[in-house]
Amino acid sequence: MSDIAVGTNSWVTVAEADTYMNTRYGAWEVWEDGTNKPAALVTAYNQIVSSGFFSNLPSTVVQKMKDAQCEHALFLVMEGGDLLRRGGLQAQGVMEAGLIKEKYDTRARGKLAFPPVVLALLKDYSENDDGMFINDLNRDDSEDVA
């Protein structure tokens, strides 16, 4: 299990997240005792701060940041396996998969997925407010890649 160090790898403790989840409709269905809550919270924190999408986060933690971390942790618990499988397919160059012909947007390849509630909670700390984040890449044609 991951250890939570508030101020280092989390904005919230497991107890704070439990309190949040107890008042969030539907969360109790997946946020239960068998869930690795510390790992979900640390992963959520790491993805939020390292994504590059939320580059204007204040140094003083505000409640919206804590709520967003809890929401993203819940999203990871609920959808984490599917996110990993889809990301693996996209990394292999798969553009369409499954019986329903799920199509993958090439612009999202290699990007972290954030649920709309996290984007809404942290919109004041994002450089983009359109819900889409894409890095601009610079290409050096003189660089040998072989």
pLDDT digits (tens, 9 = 90+) for 6-42: 999 999 999 999 999 999 988 888 898 888 999 999 9
Look up the domain containing 97 and give its range: 14-125
Number of domains comprising the chain = 1
Structural domain contains residue 1: no
23 domain residue, yes or no:
yes
Whether 135 is covered by a domain: the verdict is: no
> pLDDT tens digits, residue range 64-75?
999 999 999 999
Q: What is the dihedral of CA 36, 51, 110, 39, to 10 degrees?
A: -10
According to the model, what pLDDT value does residue 99 have? 60
The answer, yes or no, to whether residue 128 has pLDDT greater than 70, is no
Burial degree of 116 (CB within 10 A; 0-12, 13-18, 19+)? exposed
Which residues have C-beta within 8 Å of that of residue 96, sequence separation ≥ 6? 102, 103, 104
Residue 8 lies in a domain: no
* Tens digits of residue pLDDT in 81-109: 666 565 555 555 556 666 656 665 555 55
Q: Does any domain span residue 79?
A: yes
**Residue 103, pLDDT score:** 64
What is the SS3 assignment for 21-76?
Answer: HHCCCCHHHCCCCCCCHHHHHHHHHHHHHHCCCCCCCCCCCCHHHHHHHHHHHHHH
For residues 68 and 117, what is the distance between their CA atoms, to the nearest angstrom?
Answer: 7
Does the residue 66 lie in any domain?
yes
In a domain, 117, yes or no: yes
In a domain, 91, yes or no: yes
